[in-house]
């Protein structure tokens, strides 16, 4: 079975002061690990020697949160190479590498635990660290490794192979299948199973001493299973589970103590040290009560530190310090000053005693007297160490309570005697004691949760039985005393006590106040005293308590006695604080959304103004789920009050939509209004472009078919003329005479020698002549300066954005709709000097002179070819320059390039949109 392999650090290429590679040999919550020197040369190298030659099965690396190597390579060797030990020429064999995350998503606040499964034999392991990931925290370009863990088997198995085969043979005869899914996860079914106690995460979060005890107990558990002592194994399993929580808490205390020392807050460090010592003493004491430390003297620790109770010296119960760990039966006093350190959530009431675990209830009978007390009673419920089984009857001299007495105590009010109230409790609850009596209030303050629950039920019964006609002052004083105890019980961490407090509060509002016809002031007092505490419980770590608190607040807001007061909505629209927990923020937003649907914004306490201010401020919360829930609240409110919601949001423009949340909000608005979103508009434009391309291809195909049909009769005429051999004369213009008897073919219908883009006709426009014309002279075309393709000027912008080889280097300006190089686009948009484009139906947009002109295809010809059109068409300016060269009185009809202008009045069909893809392929690079 693979297990954790110990190792020592043989060498490293360097380290920063105080962060040696030897730190990797220690696994604990407070280790710092290894760091490379500042501005070091890469790669960096560390060589480890394992305690024995082994077969490595798994490697675990815990990376630093911001000093992260981009890649770590692994090499293995049976012995050190010659540059370590002379006359040994063995070299390391490369196993592979792992890449580490740059940690940008977590803001460089989390550490990555990388697990690598390998199968390699050797005794020396070399790690090579490559260049670091760059971030704002790693200013010295360092790499670091917090911890490394090696898991494997000894390489020399000896007789184990025979044992394994013998076990397989026995399983075969017994009909056991080792690959049976029912055995998965067990040692029998998975001989390569790796214990969770060997995982790196276990050691990095556990106190080292507690981790050692857990491993010892785990060995005893396996021995108990082999000996079929299943009750004892179950007890050990529960102890291990509880000890893991204890070890994690002690590890956290150790980290807090280290931080206090670094900040030079030595008072806090001392208190943390004493708190750890007390907590550890309680754990070991209860382990001895369980009998789990018997026969293990190395696990027993002697505490030389005087364990002073962390108390206010003015407390009347603080008489003398305790010089040794408390024994069973000793009383430990409460400590107001230690409460912030012993509790995760500070509270104003006395600390609640721990409940009995399932193991306590199963293995020991209930007793009438108090439990053996130690300083565990000063800890909150979730910080208690191992639950100790009670000692057998007679050891503590405690009498046993009969079953009848137990049942009567559970059924009745507060039978039995709860512990006496402390002086602090007497002062705090003096007014409630005067009204309800000391016995009932003592039960509500009891450290036993069942007494607290019974006190609330007794109070519930007392209020229900209050006779009609009781003086108003007595009713009001009883109500206020009951609300005082209810408010305190709402903070209780025990679910049954919390449920009893909600039941009591509901009865007071819906039955007690209406029955005795008390004023709205009393209802207001009940709500204002309890709602803040209930809202704080919606952020509880227990999901069950969160749901119960949220549902009750919603139910209470809909009470006919509470709804007109409009109190609860005013609490829900209070802005979230920066340190508000995630659970509390999400619960508050969820309650707000639910009550908005139930109450609306008319005379309910909710207004568009206060809800939108709260929701917009929640958009800046650090947690994504809270921001997402705030977006849903805004969208729900927009369905009813569109104009008022828009007043609290920035304008819907491109700069605002750069924020992903606002983009989601405005797209949600579009869906609510029935308008297409940006994504839908882009899809529609894409579909329209594809349809235009398809139509263009079909039109060009039809023109080519017409051209082929016209060529056939012309070819027949030429054959007849050559067969007749009739001499023909040329006219002065160079045109051939038509033979008599030949069919008269209209010139307008012949597409030979014609440019389909500019409409120019010339005898030189053969197949090669047209290529030359397209490439150099056509006024409607131009060459792309980036990919050298010939494209229509009217489709140049679309070409640069979608077809050009360099299309990734261009972006579209939302103002002028033209293609602008990406590196110039921010400056171009910021300058706002470009001429705004008009919609396609209203005007065409020239990409050369950046002017808007009349829409339509003929307008493109007039703009690009006419003398009063585009001034930036270089081909047109070149032709005009040549036309000015002849002397006055001469009117040449042919330019130097051999091309003529378009015939006046000729109507030549031109394809819409631009040069087809086939034309691109034919007339591209020459």
Say how many Å lie between the first and final Cα of the chain, rounded. 72
| Dihedral angle sign, alpha carbons of residues 882, 887, 891, 893 | negative
Q: Please count the other Cβ atoms lying within 10 Å of the Cβ belonging to residue 647.
A: 10
State the pLDDT at residue 668.
85
Q: Please count the other Cβ atoms lying within 10 Å of the Cβ belonging to residue 327.
A: 10
State the pLDDT at residue 674.
82
Per-10-residue mean pLDDT, the chain, length 926:
87 90 87 91 92 90 92 88 48 88 86 88 92 91 93 68 46 47 43 77 83 86 87 85 85 87 87 87 74 51 35 36 36 33 33 33 34 39 38 34 38 58 88 90 90 92 90 92 93 91 94 91 93 92 89 92 90 85 89 89 85 88 86 88 86 81 85 79 82 84 76 65 49 41 44 81 84 86 88 90 89 90 88 86 89 87 85 76 50 36 36 38 36
Instruction: For helices 582-599 and 520-537, give the axis angle rounded to 10 degrees.
Output: 140
State the pLDDT at residue 68.
94
Per-position DSSP letters for 657-676, written without gaps between them: HTSHHHHHHHHHHHHHHTPP
Question: The tokens 């053969």 sit on which residue?
Answer: 766
Structure tokens of 733? 């213009």
- Give the separation between CA 137 and CA 102, rounded to whole angstroms: 12
State the pLDDT at residue 133.
92
- Give the separation between CA 534 and CA 289, rounded to whole angstroms: 39
Residue 70: alpha-carbon gap to chain centroid: 23
Q: Please count the other Cβ atoms lying within 10 Å of the Cβ belonging to residue 658.
A: 9
State the pLDDT at residue 371.
36
Encode 208-230: b = buried (16+ Cβ within 10 Å), e = exposed: bebbebbbbbbebbeebeeeeee
Q: Please count the other Cβ atoms lying within 10 Å of the Cβ belonging to residue 235.
A: 21
Per-residue pLDDT of 391-438, as tens digits, reads: 333 333 333 333 333 333 343 344 456 888 888 888 888 889 989 988
- Give the separation between CA 737 and CA 745, rounded to whole angstroms: 13
Per-position DSSP letters for 348-373, written without gaps between them: SSPPPPPPPPHHHHHHS---SSPPPP
Question: The tokens 């080792």 sit on which residue?
Answer: 178
Tell me which residue of 477, 415, 476 sits closest to 440, measured CA to CA.
Answer: 415
Tell me which residue of 672, 510, 526, 537 sits closest to 591, measured CA to CA.
Answer: 537
- Give the separation between CA 811 and CA 822, rounded to whole angstroms: 5
Backbone φ and ψ for 63, nearest 5 degrees, come out as -80, 160
3-state SS of 215-263 is HHHHHHHHHHHHCCCHHHHHHHHHHHHHHHHHHHHHHHHHHHHHHHHHC
3-state SS of 285-351 is HHHHHHCCCCCCHHHCCCCCCCCCCCCCCCCCCCCCCCCCCCCCCCCCCCCCCCHHHHCCCCCCCCC
State the pLDDT at residue 333.
32
Question: The tokens 């009217």 sit on which residue?
Answer: 794
Structure tokens of 872? 């930036």
């Amino acid at each position: 079975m693979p297990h954790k392999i110990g190792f020592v650090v043989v060498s490293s290429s360097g380290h920063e002061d105080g962060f040696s590679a030897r730190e990797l040999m220690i696994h604990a919550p407070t280790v710092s690990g290894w760091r490379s020197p500042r501005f070091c040369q890469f790669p960096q190298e560390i060589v480890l020697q394992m305690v024995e030659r082994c077969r490595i099965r798994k490697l675990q690396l815990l990376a630093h949160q911001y000093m992260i190597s981009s890649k770590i390579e692994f090499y293995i060797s049976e012995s050190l190479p010659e540059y370590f030990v002379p006359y040994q020429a063995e070299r390391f064999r490369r196993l592979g590498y792992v890449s580490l995350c740059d940690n940008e998503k977590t803001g460089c606040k989390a550490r990555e635990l990388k697990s690598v499964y390998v199968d390699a034999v050797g005794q020396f392991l070399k790690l090579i660290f490559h260049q670091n990931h760059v971030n704002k925290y790693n200013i010295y370009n360092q790499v670091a490794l917090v911890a490394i863990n090696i898991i494997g088997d000894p390489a020399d198995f000896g007789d184990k192979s025979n044992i394994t085969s013998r076990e397989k043979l026995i399983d075969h005869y017994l009909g056991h299948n080792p690959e049976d899914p029912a055995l998965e996860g067990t040692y029998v079914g998975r001989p390569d199973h790796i214990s969770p106690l060997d995982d790196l995460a276990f050691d990095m979060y556990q106190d080292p001493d507690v981790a050692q005890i857990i491993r010892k107990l785990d060995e005893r558990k396996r021995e108990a299973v082999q000996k079929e002592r299943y009750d004892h194994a179950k007890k050990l399993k529960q102890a291990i589970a509880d000890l893991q929580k204890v070890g994690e808490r002690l590890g956290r205390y150790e980290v807090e103590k280290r931080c206090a020392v670094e900040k030079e807050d030595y008072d806090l460090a001392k208190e943390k040290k004493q708190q750890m010592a007390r907590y550890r003493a309680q754990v070991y004491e209860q382990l001895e009560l369980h009998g789990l430390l018997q026969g293990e003297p190395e696990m027993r620790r002697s505490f030389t530190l005087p364990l002073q109770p962390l108390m206010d010296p003015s407390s009347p119960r603080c008489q003398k310090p305790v010089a040794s760990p408390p024994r069973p039966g000793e009383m430990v006093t409460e400590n107001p000053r230690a409460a912030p350190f012993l509790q995760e959530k500070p509270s104003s009431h006395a600390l609640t005693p721990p409940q009995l675990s399932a193991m306590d209830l199963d293995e020991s009978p209930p007793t009438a007297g108090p439990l053996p007390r130690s300083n565990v009673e000063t800890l909150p419920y979730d910080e208690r160490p191992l639950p100790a089984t009670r000692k057998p009857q007679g050891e503590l001299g405690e009498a046993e309570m009969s079953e009848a007495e137990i049942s009567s105590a559970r059924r009745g009010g507060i039978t039995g005697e709860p512990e006496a109230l402390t002086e602090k409790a007497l002062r705090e609850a003096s007014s409630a004691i005067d009204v309800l009596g000391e016995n009932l209030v003592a039960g509500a303050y009891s450290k036993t949760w069942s007494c607290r629950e019974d006190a609330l039920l007794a109070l519930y019964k007392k209020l229900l039985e209050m006779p009609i006609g009781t003086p108003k002052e007595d009713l009001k004083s009883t109500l206020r005393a009951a609300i005082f105890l209810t408010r305190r019980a709402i903070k209780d961490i025990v679910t049954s006590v919390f449920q009893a407090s909600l039941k009591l509060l509901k009865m007071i509002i819906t039955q007690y106040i209406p029955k005795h016809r008390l004023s709205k002031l009393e209802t207001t007092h009940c709500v204002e005293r309890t709602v803040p505490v209930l809202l704080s419980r919606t952020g509880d770590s227990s999901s069950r308590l969160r749901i119960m608190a949220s549902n009750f607040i919603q139910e209470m807001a809909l009470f006919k006695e509470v709804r007109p007061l409009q109190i609860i909505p005013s609490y829900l629209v209070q802005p979230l604080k920066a340190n508000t927990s995630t659970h509390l923020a999400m619960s508050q937003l969820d309650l707000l959304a639910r009550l908005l649907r139930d109450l609306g914004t008319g005379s309910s306490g909710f207004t568009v103004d206060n809800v939108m201010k709260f929701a917009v401020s929640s958009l800046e919360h650090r947690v994504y789920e809270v921001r997402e829930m705030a977006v849903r609240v805004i969208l729900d409110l927009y369905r009813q009050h569109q104009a008022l919601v828009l007043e609290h949001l920035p304008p819907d423009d491109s700069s605002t939509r750069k924020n992903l949340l606002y983009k989601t909000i405005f797209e949600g608005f579009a869906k609510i209004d029935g308008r297409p979103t940006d994504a839908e508009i882009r899809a529609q434009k894409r579909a329209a472009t594809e349809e235009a391309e398809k139509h263009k291809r079909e039109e060009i195909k039809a023109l080519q078919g017409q051209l082929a049909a016209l060529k056939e009769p012309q070819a027949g005429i030429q054959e007849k003329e050559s067969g007749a051999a009739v001499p023909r004369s040329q006219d002065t213009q160079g045109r051939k005479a038509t033979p008599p008897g030949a069919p008269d073919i209209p010139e307008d219908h012949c597409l030979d020698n014609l440019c389909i883009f500019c409409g120019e006709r010339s005898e030189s426009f053969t197949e090669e002549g047209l290529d030359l014309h397209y490439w150099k002279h056509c006024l409607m075309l131009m060459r792309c300066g980036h990919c050298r393709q010939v494209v229509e000027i009217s489709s140049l912008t679309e070409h640069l954005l979608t077809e050009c080889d360099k299309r990734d280097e261009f972006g579209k300006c939302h103002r002028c709709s033209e293609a602008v190089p990406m590196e110039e686009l921010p400056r171009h948009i910021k300058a706002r000097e470009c001429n705004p484009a008009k919609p396609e139906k209203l005007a065409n947009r020239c990409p050369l002179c950046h002017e808007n002109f009349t829409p339509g295809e003929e307008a493109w010809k007039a703009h690009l070819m006419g003398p009063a059109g585009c001034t930036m068409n270089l081909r047109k300016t070149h032709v005009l320059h040549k036309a000015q060269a002849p002397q006055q009185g001469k009117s040449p009809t042919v330019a130097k390039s051999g091309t003529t202008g378009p015939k006046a009045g000729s109507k030549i069909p031109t394809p819409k949109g631009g040069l087809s893809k086939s034309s691109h392929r034919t007339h591209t690079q020459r």
